[in-house]
Chain A
């Protein structure tokens, strides 16, 4: 067995330095719920593991002065669930994060890891896309920001540059009348991988949609931002025609494969159904219901 080095730096600079120096032979360890399984199955053979959980910024949930949130990349689902306000402002994002795995997994797994694992079926990603979250990335050339939907490049691949680490997510401030929701279709009742996952974030003013974003997962090589679906809802009062148009946009965005988890026909049909249902939940939340 090859030697594996383990580092748990206290600062981001140290982490980036070690990660970049390893030139691709290193892997970032947050909760480890993907990485350790991949290593055990021989799918990942890192020479260096950089544990980011000792870096304060990576494990913090901060409420920003403007009402937004900054979530460290290694924050676990359980930590998010325990935060007194996050779930009130972003119930859809929280649901999505905590649909991942079992209670035990939720105590370890992080949205940062879920994003960087780059599975087309990652549950937190469509909700983060719908939320309009922005990712902060740090690498040898410094910090930059990119929208969540720009991170995945394909199954298991990201658009991060060599040596770059995801530091955290910034979620924008929420105007009054906003709500979000995430729904997924799985063949069993729990602990499963999405056949379709769909996140919606809405803002309503006097019953009219003033802001709408839709993220769609498990139906294409990457999780998608479906702008056409959001546009179909924008300016509407969520009439049937607008919902039909948004559902049609979701179906049209699907580029799935036939595989053991579901057929093209099924995934496509369910994408439209989930759009309508997620919109209904988000709208109810936006209007003060829960």
Chain B
């Protein structure tokens, strides 16, 4: 009995370094009318994460969620030897569109978890978050449905504004501006204080007034907002 046990443990030891992964990633914007700012795609160790539900957002997550700036998260991830891809869509990812990229963790077999984040526009601090899913070791095609989170760092006033942390409102690059309104009086004033599943945007039917600069018939969403297909080679 002892012998067969030791053989088994040797076998399981042999299979341990299979953390190294060569994967293709396809990210599809499933929403009817929302855009995503540049994505951060990160393979990282299982003891770190970009965010956690119920916890306050980091300053770097706030910068991503309020303005689409991933530079802080990139620096954080590099500091823990994550394997990164930035901006695979080459700018905004439009509704219905997809972006593809690849990751190889042969040089960093401890990076067994996959996270992907990007801000939703128009929103104050909404973002899509694939949070530390285990990268499958078995070759094949795996689909993940990704939900929208609220970073909890900015009140969801839903009015045109800026993207720098602390600036109220949402930034509106041209394709977002094209479908947004103006003159809204504001929906919610207070930041929630913790990361949570986004309650969705409210919007209104008035392009030049009302409570919101978001169009209720165009910019609302229901989860999931993104589909991620991981192909393990």
- Do chains A and B interact in one complex? no
- B-to-A contact residues, CB < 8 Å: none
